[in-house]
Chains A and B, each alone.
Chain A
Amino acid sequence: MTAQGTACDVRPASELLWVEDLHTEFRVEGGVVHAVNGVSYTLDEREIIGIVGESGCGKSVSQLSVIQLIRNPGRIAAGKVWFEGVNLLDYRPNGAEMRAIRGAKIGMIFQEPMTSLNPVLTIGRQLTESLELHLGMTRKEARDRAVELLDQVGIPSARTRLDDYPHQFSGGMRQRVMIAIGVACQPKMVIADEPTTALDCTTQAQLLELMLSTIEGCRGALVLVTHNLGVVARYAHRIYIMYAGRIVEQGLCRDIFYKPSHPYTIGLLKSVPRLDEAHGRRLVPIDGRPPSLIDMPPTCAFLPRCLEAGERCRREPMPELKAVEGEGHMVRCYMREEGAGE
């Protein structure tokens, strides 16, 4: 069990990543956008966590912040990213230390397969450059390894396809290549940002299975960022629900699904169709839209869309994460705190 928000010096031995109170902001014309507004989470070795939320809730930005890929007009304003005992944010974003970690210790798989590969380089080159850089392979060794990787992700005739260009592959194939690139150097952990969103359903399922087995194969951990609850339900050990730049609920997978606590989580679950429920239940969308992240009011961000809101929610500032029933299960809601009436 990991302690959130407490300055606990004793971290579990198997803990790989501890993102501590991360704040990332963007300076724009109208003001400052607090894209990541105090986010903390942990990842253990070989664990799979899901970070779930709508578009714009800050989940992608938080991951980019972890590997320090935030550029002007954005910047990481506060927080620490503990990876293998070192705060990554202490490193210069483009310094040798950070670069040694990117791609080698922390792999990344992006969302858009159609545009995430360089159109003028061969697939082989885009694989071998990581291998040559981080694992010190020669070109020949790297090419051999690249063929193995492509095989692993299910690209047929890998040896010949090594010298093909991205536009000669379909979307699903390209995403397989992205997976290969992400795990090429056998990283300790992989961040997958909406890896299957741009693909059709059947491909999605295939690719997820592939991704998981590949990562498992190299004994890595996975951060699965998505807006799709169905995806995390099957694979994640623990889940973090994000809203408007903050984590509003977190816990074990089964607790989130069977004992959801935050009104937003409950709403998310109600809007997802399920095979195992009674026929004819109406899907209930969550009304309203996510808030603008500039000039946010001090009260709970979910207030305008929440029907469980009480007097306390309107009066007091943003609630803190507090524990509720379940191992490591925490919720950011006044209405769930002890002694809160309905």
Chain B
Amino acid sequence: MTTYIIRRLLWGIVVLFLVSLIVFFSIRLIPGDPVLIYAAQQAGSGGGLTEEYLDKLRVQYGLDKSVPVQYLNWVKGVITGDLGKSIRYQDDVGGLLLQKLPPTLYLGLISVIVSTIFGILFGLIAAIRRGKWIDSVVTFLSYIGLCVPVFLLGFLLIYVFGLKLRWLPIVGYTSPWKDFGLSARQAPMPVVCLAVVSLAVTARQMRSSVLEVNNMDYVRTAWSKGLRERVVVTRHVLKNSLIPVVTMLGISVGLIFGGSVIVETMFGIPGMGQLLVQSIFSRDYVVIQGGTLIIAAMIIAVNLLVDISYGWFDPRIRYE
């Protein structure tokens, strides 16, 4: 088991390294002299665009070094926690991220929990009542869930609950520590938007997983012992079915991060998604670099945890 964990860990680091390469070099692909971009943001600093000024900027941003060296400097910075200075905010990127992460993580975590639990539940029910009406409903709804654009969900929820019924506030985010009541009313709509797609994916996977496990010989053995349905399902079917569904967790987190880009824009939530979008428009490449790296790192970490958790589910892996 330990070798398994170590192998996966190393793996994660390799992938993270490649991710950083992709992030770094894709930014460098942008045509034009990057220093001009940095300079353009500094309008009003009184310097005018003299060559000296540009040179000063180059040194300041480390652009006078060769590209591979720039990369290494960046990586060094990342490891020590210095992700550079935002061009737009003139602020430490690390600090910026720390500010913007909590809303995304908070809503994201709730969404992951909701979508996983309900996805597993619905998928299980649909499978053990296969062919009955509940199965058709769940299957159809999870199908729709895959096809629905995130913003359509947002529109529906906002229109019904925000505008017409006026039950829930439409925009804004408040930390639950500050004002729990308001936070609790602001949260449901974004969470639903975020959770639906991964709920659908999870439910589908769970359903097909349970159906497959149901046909396994060991389930037949369980029945032949005279165990009741509830026991067969919880003791024999469930744990085996969850194994492929646990992989879904990694995918769910990815979907939710992706969705947060749209959801935060729509609901005015000052999180990572919104930060990324704004940075793209303001050409704040330092932030884009740091932000995407952090997101990718988190996803890799989640996948790593998921892989490790396989050991608990499947003893065969534990004893490898």
User: What CA separation (Å) do A119 and B239 show in the bound complex?
Assistant: 10
Chain B nearest CB, measured from A122 CB (Å): 8
Q: What are the residues of chain B within 8 A of A129 when measuring CB–CB? A: 225, 227, 231, 235
Within 8 Å by CB of A115, from B217, B227, B316, lies B217
User: What CA separation (Å) do A69 and B229 show in the bound complex?
Assistant: 12
In contact, A133 and B226 (Cβ under 8 angstroms): yes
In contact, B314 and A119 (Cβ under 8 angstroms): yes
Interface residue? B68 (CB, 8 A): no
Within 8 Å by CB of A102, from B216, B224, B229, B239, lies B224
Closest to B314 in A: A120
Q: What are the residues of chain B within 8 A of A110 when measuring CB–CB? A: 217, 220-221, 224
A79-117 near B? 1/0 per residue, CB < 8 Å: 000000000000000100011111110001010100111
In contact, A67 and B224 (Cβ under 8 angstroms): yes
Within 8 Å by CB of A119, from B222, B235, B316, lies B316
Chain B nearest CB, measured from A274 CB (Å): 33
**B contacts with A: majority SS:** helix
Q: What are the residues of chain B within 8 A of A118 when measuring CB–CB? A: 218, 221-222, 236, 240
User: What CA separation (Å) do A280 and B221 show in the bound complex?
Assistant: 44
In contact, A120 and B313 (Cβ under 8 angstroms): yes
User: What CA separation (Å) do A110 and B204 show in the bound complex?
Assistant: 31
User: What CA separation (Å) do A178 and B319 show in the bound complex?
Assistant: 23
B210-246 near A? 1/0 per residue, CB < 8 Å: 0000001110111111111101000110011000000
Closest to B218 in A: A118
User: What CA separation (Å) do A165 and B240 show in the bound complex?
Assistant: 14
Interface residue? B131 (CB, 8 A): yes
Interface residue? A283 (CB, 8 A): no
Q: What are the residues of chain B within 8 A of A72 when measuring CB–CB? A: 131
Chain A nearest CB, measured from B314 CB (Å): 6
Number of interface residues of A (CB under 8 A): 31
A116 and B218 in contact, given A165-B315, A168-B319 (Cβ under 8 angstroms): yes
Of the candidates B131, B217, B226, the one having the most CB atoms from chain A within 10 angstroms of its own CB is: B226
Interface residue? A75 (CB, 8 A): no
In contact, A130 and B218 (Cβ under 8 angstroms): no
A115 and B226 in contact, given A72-B131, A120-B239, A165-B316 (Cβ under 8 angstroms): no
In contact, B226 and A167 (Cβ under 8 angstroms): no
Interface residue? A49 (CB, 8 A): no
Of the candidates B131, B225, B240, B316, the one having the most CB atoms from chain A within 10 angstroms of its own CB is: B225
Q: A99-B227, A117-B221, A130-B225 are in contact. List 17 more A-B contacts (CB 8 A).
A: A94-B228, A100-B226, A103-B226, A108-B224, A110-B224, A112-B217, A115-B218, A116-B217, A116-B221, A117-B218, A118-B236, A119-B240, A119-B316, A126-B221, A129-B227, A133-B226, A181-B221
Q: Sample 26 A-B pairs with CB under 8 A, ordered by A number.
A: A67-B224, A69-B224, A99-B227, A101-B226, A102-B223, A102-B225, A103-B225, A108-B221, A108-B224, A110-B220, A110-B221, A112-B217, A115-B217, A116-B218, A118-B221, A118-B240, A119-B218, A119-B314, A120-B239, A120-B240, A120-B315, A121-B235, A129-B225, A133-B226, A165-B319, A178-B221
